[in-house]
Structure 1
Amino acid sequence: MGTLAKILKEQWEWRKQILSLGLFDLRKISRGAVLGPFWIFAKPAVYIGVFWFALEVGLRSGDSSGSGAPYILWLMGGLVPWFYIQEILGAGVDVFHRYNYLVTKIKFPLPGIPTIFSISTFVVQLGLIIGLLVVYFICGQTLDWYLIQIPIALVLMFVFFNMFSLMTSSLSAISKDFLSLMKTLSTPLFWLSGIIFNIFTIHNATLQSILLLNPIAFIAAMYRCAVYDKMWIWDRPSACIGFVVVFALTLIATLVIYRRTHEEVSDVL
């Protein structure tokens, strides 16, 4: 608990610097481009369009939900959070090398560095949420209480994957092999996380329970409950239990790994 208290204290004391650097990191992405922010959202929009065409038009796998929501909302419910998670699984698992100068020259608190990257990526996610809601209302869906699950999912996603980034970055700074492992796992995680298939339609209960231990599947399920299924995520207790278990284990692992490696990171870098 002492390690957790120290991490939270450092995050709070350096909150202004963390927020400022996170927003500055976001501005660097569009610097020098005439259209600026357009390019930040162009890639996700193209990906969504291509997947929608391939799955609904090409493979004819799309259908409407019982609430009348079209397939595009189900697809976006999985892909929109994936764009945030993908960044964490990519550059986010090695942020200490990405922000090397903060570690070796400024002596910035290590727990705040993953948050810098998470903030810049999170702002993009908020823009994608706006796009999701625009499509949601264009499809004729109405404002209801189920949509409150989106901000809840955003908070859970930010906290969990920021914690995950701190854990993996600590290991990546010590071992390049771990970094290579995480890069290798990124693509399999996409295909096995229920982003483009419905885990809840799998009839094998054991396999379904194993897949629901994946926090990515839980976040996607929350988005889809809000905009497509029109139900509460806690009506699917297997998904909630799996997320709580993995969250607790990841928190413990993060605290243990950070406590054992934080003094070595600056020396290694």
Structure 2
Amino acid sequence: MSSIKMFFAFLKELLGSSHIILELTKADFKKKYLGSYLGILWAFVHPAVYIVVVWFVFEVGFRSQPLANFPFVLWMLTAIMPWFFFSDCLQSATTSIIENGFLLKKMVFSMGMLPIIKILSALIIHAFFVLVIFIMFMLYGFPPSLYNLQVFYYLFCTIALLLGLTWLTSSLTLFLKDTPQIVTMILQLAFWMTPIFWSTKNLSNHTLNLIKLNPIYYIVEGYRESFIYKTWFWQSHYMLTLYFWCVTGFFFVIGGLIFRRLRPHFADVI
């Protein structure tokens, strides 16, 4: 079978299992917090506490100056939320197959679903905090606008990029045990190379172009354009949009192909 046919067969297999994916997503979300007193509330407590701490540090402690005429906490919040979603998904999905190897041995199961389940499970939490962003903007006196709807486009961008990356990293983890540590190290580097706590306005054009090579830059700035800069993605940086989708498409296809090629050997190493 050619690589192209193999890739589309892989996608068709996953689409045919959509109902199973949804059921397993619910189960995965509940399983994380099963047995604790607060249950699934912990999924929302941890990020909420982080937001409160950041608000106190920058608004009360540092008395940070507004950026783009918006309070610093709002400027930062629109970037940290998509970063949390991306990093949590990538780390949890990278180990999703090795953690659920028993499914491969006990039943006929499409292992390509496991990274998707982790992404959808994290999406539930992220959707809640997108709502929090809306509420905080209204509390600061910034009402919703049509530009806010653009956040769904950038959310789609994030999921598309994650799918390819997690198919790649989750399959490689079985054969290269250092993969989770490598992913964590890359995420740490990417965090500080992404303008989450800092602004790009003082960077030279050469340095800014290097920063833009990080595909997360497109997503983070996209969230800010949806809530702060009020710019449609097709009105500016169309070359950056083209670059992002080329990178995403590359990882989507390569990740799917590598996953499909390695999958027959999963049982041998689990």
- TM-score normalised by length of structure 1: 0.90
Match of 2:8 among 1, 5, 27: 5
Q: Partner of 1:31: helix, strand, or coil? A: coil
Query: In the TM superposition, what is the alpha-carbon distance from 1:253 to its structure 2 partner?
Result: 2.3
In structure 2, the CA distance between the partners of 1:133 and 1:117, relative to structure 1 (3 Å rule), is same
Out of 255-264 and 89-98, give the one that drifted further: 255-264
8 Å CA contact retained: 2:7, 2:257 = no
Pairing 1:35–2:38 present: yes
Partner of 2:121: 120
**What are structure 1's unaligned runs of at least 5 residues?**
none
CA RMSD of aligned residues (A): 2.0
Name the CA distance, whole Å, in 2 between partners of 1:18 and 1:144.
33
Out of 204-213 and 57-66, give the one that drifted further: 57-66
8 Å CA contact retained: 1:73, 1:227 = no
Q: Partner of 2:95: helix, strand, or coil? A: helix
Q: Partner of 1:34: helix, strand, or coil? A: coil
Q: Partner of 2:178: helix, strand, or coil? A: helix
Query: In the TM superposition, what is the alpha-carbon distance from 1:202 to its structure 2 partner?
Result: 4.4
Name the CA distance, whole Å, in 1 between partners of 2:208 and 2:54.
24
Q: Partner of 1:196: helix, strand, or coil? A: coil
Name the CA distance, whole Å, in 2 between partners of 1:45 and 1:62.
23
Name the CA distance, whole Å, in 1 between partners of 2:73 and 2:190.
22
Partner of 1:223: 223
Partner of 1:15: 18
Partner of 1:100: 101
What letter corresponds to residue 252 of structure 1 in structure 2? V
Alignment of 1:116-265 (within 5 A): 116-199=117-200, 201-234=201-234, 235-265=236-266
8 Å CA contact retained: 1:212, 1:243 = no
In structure 2, the CA distance between the partners of 1:34 and 1:178, relative to structure 1 (3 Å rule), is closer
In structure 2, the CA distance between the partners of 1:43 and 1:208, relative to structure 1 (3 Å rule), is same
Query: In the TM superposition, what is the alpha-carbon distance from 1:64 to its structure 2 partner?
Result: 4.4
Name the CA distance, whole Å, in 2 between partners of 1:21 and 1:2.
27
What letter corresponds to residue 90 of structure 1 in structure 2? Q
What letter corresponds to residue 104 of structure 2 in structure 1? V
- TM-score normalised by length of structure 2: 0.90
Identity among equivalent pairs (%): 26
Out of 230-239 and 130-139, give the one that drifted further: 230-239
8 Å CA contact retained: 1:10, 1:112 = no
8 Å CA contact retained: 2:25, 2:120 = yes
Name the CA distance, whole Å, in 1 between partners of 2:104 and 2:85.
24
Name the CA distance, whole Å, in 1 between partners of 2:56 and 2:48.
12
Name the CA distance, whole Å, in 2 between partners of 1:202 and 1:105.
56
Query: In the TM superposition, what is the alpha-carbon distance from 1:215 to its structure 2 partner?
Result: 2.1
Pairing 1:26–2:29 present: yes
Name the CA distance, whole Å, in 1 between partners of 2:93 and 2:38.
26
8 Å CA contact retained: 1:222, 1:233 = yes
Q: Partner of 2:32: helix, strand, or coil? A: helix
Query: In the TM superposition, what is the alpha-carbon distance from 1:240 to its structure 2 partner?
Result: 1.7
Report the number of matched residues: 266
In structure 2, the CA distance between the partners of 1:82 and 1:162, relative to structure 1 (3 Å rule), is same
Q: Partner of 1:107: helix, strand, or coil? A: coil
